[in-house]
Structure 1
Amino acid sequence: MTAPSTAPAPPSRGGRWIQQWDPEDETFWNETGEKVARRNLLFSVLSEHIGFSIWTMWSVLVLFMGPEYGLTPADKFLLTSMVTLVGAVVRVPYTFAVALFGGRNWTIVSASLLLVPTIAAFAVMKPGTSFNTFLLVGLLAGIGGGNFASSMTNINAFFPLRKKGWALGLNAGGGNIGVPVIQLIALAVIGASGGPRVLLGIYIPLILVAAVLAALYMDNLATVKNDTGAAIDSAKDGHTWIMSFLYIGTFGSFIGFSFAFGQVLQVQFGRTPLQAAYVTFIGPLLGSLIRPLGGWLADKYGGAKITLYNYVGMGAATAVLVFASMQKSLPLFVTAFVVLFVLSGLGNGSTFKMIPGIFHTKALAKGLVGDEAAAHGRRLSGASMGLIGAVGALGGVGINLAFRQSFLSNGSGTGAFITFLVYYALCFVVTWAVYLRRTAAKTETSAAAETKPQLNYAEV
């Protein structure tokens, strides 16, 4: 343990900047750090939550868009795919914005920017608007997906390694729950015979509230400095791309299914917008709520182990979906889909917990110890989270495009589900081969009298 630290110095420049921050010091953490970190986590979750709602609002708006809008199911899947794509791409610059502007400052800006797509959608949401206009306005909503990356990077810096699984899981889960919340509000609006503009009007004041609360109660960490070298180093590290591949399977599934579930129910099973809205929120809600549990289980048992078993479950649920789709069994289909949502949320928590653990393990293997190892791990894991989050979100694009092609080719989503099943099988193999198989080699060499630190990812 390092020597006891004093409380963070009072902000010495405008904008609530904290100059000293050492969460790995238990004395500092217990006396000062935890309270400040939890406060920032709370308001980070609020902003990210609304960001997710705005990002995924088109998954709800397309349910309102009946024949009078002149859009085909293929048009709607393309629209939601492009919204997901923008949300994935902007995660990269949003990750590094925290270091450039400060976590509090960027939360204020990113929350305020959500007014642009919300007001734009409010203006054009009516029959007679061209598809290209809907597509352009939908692309603006993609900025809501970037809030996740900046929020996760910011919160990662506030918490010690031993708490990251829980903190990142809670932060991401609270954000993810913005998906079912906007779907629930849409259900109420549709049930009350309200239009899409009513839904959009509800969110405009909420965005302003999130920005104001971030300004009042969040902090910037001066220790999180802009480090382009970290971005380059993390991009060169093979584990960044391996974890991106795995995160496509978990978060890509969550966000892709969140956009597509209602449309699949309408197109394949003939559900009305109200009937679809009654069930679409259940999967994203449970998947969001369970994400912190995935992080907690990863903290306790190892992220790699939880992720491995989780992919077994996702594969089994997808196999049931294939059967239900072929048999046209709506009850079985909905049940299996909800289970898949839950497992994707659990896997979101366990995979993201792996990231700081992997880079900390590599730091120890280099011979770094104590604060030096912790700082090295934080530096690379924080930079890699943006890239991993961006690539993972691209999985949502792939899912919507797979559904689009499947419905164009044979009128059902069965072909898409078979593709997803194959991908989950590959994720299982990669998780085992990279993060669990090597522990056997470590055991065989442990009897050596003198050994260098070994890479052992089983507990990450």
Structure 2
Amino acid sequence: MAGRWIEQWDPEDETFWRTTGERTARRNLVFSVLSEHIGFSIWTLWSVMVLFMGPEYGVDPAGKFFLIGTATLVGAVIRVPYTFAVARFGGRNWTVFSALMLLLPTGAAYAVMEPGTSYGTFLLVAALTGVGGGNFASSMTNINSFFPLRKKGWALGVNAGGGNIGVPVVQLVGLLVIGTAGAAHPRIVLGAYIPLIVVAAVCAALWMDNLAPVKNDTGAAREAVRDGHTWIMAFLYVGTFGSFIGYSFAFGLVLQTQFGRTPLQAASLTFIGPLLGSLIRPVGGALADRFGGARITLGNFLAMAAATGVVVTASVQESLPVFLVGFIALFVLTGLGNGSTYKMIPGIFQAKALAKGMTGEAAAAYGRRLSGASMGLIGAVGALGGLGINLAFRQSFQSAGTGTAAFVGFLLFYAVCSVVTWAVYLRRPAPAPVRTEAPEAEPQLGYARV
């Protein structure tokens, strides 16, 4: 694909941004959201398909958790190459290709989704849906390059939030099919998505752009891997996005397994949490733009720990209403945290650039270069948190018949995330490498604002 290439791009230049950049960036954002939205729907497809899998499929709850865990794992791993594909092939070109790739898992699921299919076949097809998870990494890396630092929290929040909404939308489609045609017709869900995938690819081809200044930079990737902040942020993103995607996959199964809900009853509740978590993500980014990502992230992790405490209490008491309140609050908080943590990434590398003595466009270019390279790694590790959540649920239900033990583990993890956020970015932020003549407080102030 030859594509449309923009040779010059400087969003930090306010005149350029006002006259040309903003309009172009917003147009690319719109169609990036569309493609990523469909990608998330396909990635989380098996959170819906398992609701259609009654006793005639011969798959127990542990087997269903492993199916959705497999999709989560592949989606996490594939985010790394997807991140660097944008620089290699162009954001527009890769969006077209990655959208068309979604036809593979959707068509395969359409072919095999019936009783009598072997579990190994289901496992393979679930793994194929991981390509939808990769769309997030390439989309976020691409949009990060289009917007100036002062707008990144909002832009990345809208891009990711619009994509995340693909989770509750596919669950609503599943609810509609179960409520009208019944649980014996999962192929209706799959058939509805095939033309939508084609529409997303065509729109990207017609209305998106490639940025020539975003070149494949293996040096940036190596530098991002060596930077400790990449891995600290990846750890924090496990707590926010890992929780969001893990809970999105598992919510319906938990309702069926622990609270005895029917497929229709589970589907009628499953979409609420992911929907609210997706809608609130841009708010998390906007709050981070205004008050600093680290402050919002710390408060968010503390609130997540409190909400998990409510869920643990409800799980022990077997109170479905209290459980739903606590679990949906968790979804909302994961969405806020997703927005604030992703805002922190470009801010951290911008602060490092300033601490190195860079100024103006040089500092902005350094921040874009390193933050773009690190986002895929952070997104991949963060998504692995979803796998951890599903494996924890699988073990908890296998050993005790409830998810209580898993939730206790999640609560402790959020407490650790709170301590790390405070210690690294708020208490005495670990300074970036600085020139010897640079004042010691300079990097601290930069990190306090990320």
Aligned to 2:151: 163
- Aligned 1:345-424 pairs, distance under 5 A: 345-424=335-414
Q: 1:241 corresponds to which letter in structure 2?
A: W
Aligned to 1:178: 166
Task: Name the CA distance, whole Å, in 1 between partners of 2:311 and 2:137.
Answer: 31
- 1:39–1:217 Cα contact (<8 Å) kept: yes
Q: What displacement does 1:438 show? A: 1.4
TM-score w.r.t. length of structure 1 = 0.95
- Aligned 1:259-270 pairs, distance under 5 A: 259-270=249-260
| 1:227 and 2:220 correspond | no
Aligned to 1:430: 420
Q: 2:443 corresponds to which letter in structure 1?
A: Q
Unmatched segments (≥5 aa) in structure 2: 432-436
450 and 316 in structure 1: CA distance in 2 versus 1, 3 angstrom threshold: closer
Q: Secondary structure at the match of 2:444?
A: coil
Aligned to 2:27: 39
Select the residue among 430, 444, 447 that pairs with 1:455: 444
- Aligned 1:231-310 pairs, distance under 5 A: 231-310=221-300
Q: 2:102 corresponds to which letter in structure 1?
A: L
Q: 2:261 corresponds to which letter in structure 1?
A: R
Select the residue among 99, 115, 123 that pairs with 1:127: 115
Q: Secondary structure at the match of 2:402?
A: coil
- Aligned 1:315-354 pairs, distance under 5 A: 315-354=305-344
Select the residue among 25, 33, 40 that pairs with 2:13: 25
Task: Name the CA distance, whole Å, in 2 between partners of 1:379 and 1:404.
Answer: 39
Q: 1:50 corresponds to which letter in structure 2?
A: I
Aligned to 2:434: none
Task: Name the CA distance, whole Å, in 1 between partners of 2:203 and 2:156.
Answer: 20
- The Cα RMSD (Å) is 1.4
Aligned to 1:72: 60
Q: 1:294 corresponds to which letter in structure 2?
A: G
Task: Name the CA distance, whole Å, in 1 between partners of 2:122 and 2:411.
Answer: 32
Q: Secondary structure at the match of 2:261?
A: coil
Task: Name the CA distance, whole Å, in 2 between partners of 1:166 and 1:32.
Answer: 19
- 1:365–1:455 Cα contact (<8 Å) kept: no
Aligned to 1:54: 42
TM-score w.r.t. length of structure 2 = 0.97
Task: Name the CA distance, whole Å, in 1 between partners of 2:104 and 2:2.
Answer: 27
Select the residue among 64, 67, 82 that pairs with 2:70: 82
- 1:362–1:455 Cα contact (<8 Å) kept: no
Task: Name the CA distance, whole Å, in 1 between partners of 2:430 and 2:143.
Answer: 34
User: Paired residues, what number?
Assistant: 442
Q: 2:64 corresponds to which letter in structure 1?
A: K
Task: Name the CA distance, whole Å, in 2 between partners of 1:78 and 1:57.
Answer: 14
Task: Name the CA distance, whole Å, in 1 between partners of 2:2 and 2:373.
Answer: 26
Task: Name the CA distance, whole Å, in 2 between partners of 1:451 and 1:218.
Answer: 43
Task: Name the CA distance, whole Å, in 2 between partners of 1:91 and 1:162.
Answer: 26
| 1:153 and 2:147 correspond | no
Q: Secondary structure at the match of 1:454?
A: helix
Task: Name the CA distance, whole Å, in 2 between partners of 1:438 and 1:333.
Answer: 37
Aligned to 1:8: none
- 2:284–2:335 Cα contact (<8 Å) kept: yes
Q: What displacement does 1:105 show? A: 0.1
450 and 188 in structure 1: CA distance in 2 versus 1, 3 angstrom threshold: closer
Q: Tell me the percent identity.
A: 74
Q: What displacement does 1:454 show? A: 3.0
Q: What displacement does 1:450 show? A: 7.7
Q: What displacement does 1:14 show? A: 3.9
Select the residue among 128, 142, 148 that pairs with 1:140: 128
Task: Name the CA distance, whole Å, in 2 between partners of 1:330 and 1:39.
Answer: 43
Task: Name the CA distance, whole Å, in 2 between partners of 1:435 and 1:414.
Answer: 32
Q: What displacement does 1:410 show? A: 0.4
| 1:191 and 2:174 correspond | no
Q: What displacement does 1:384 show? A: 0.1
- 2:430–2:444 Cα contact (<8 Å) kept: no
Aligned to 1:203: 193
Unmatched segments (≥5 aa) in structure 1: 1-12, 442-448
Aligned to 1:9: none
Q: Secondary structure at the match of 1:225?
A: coil
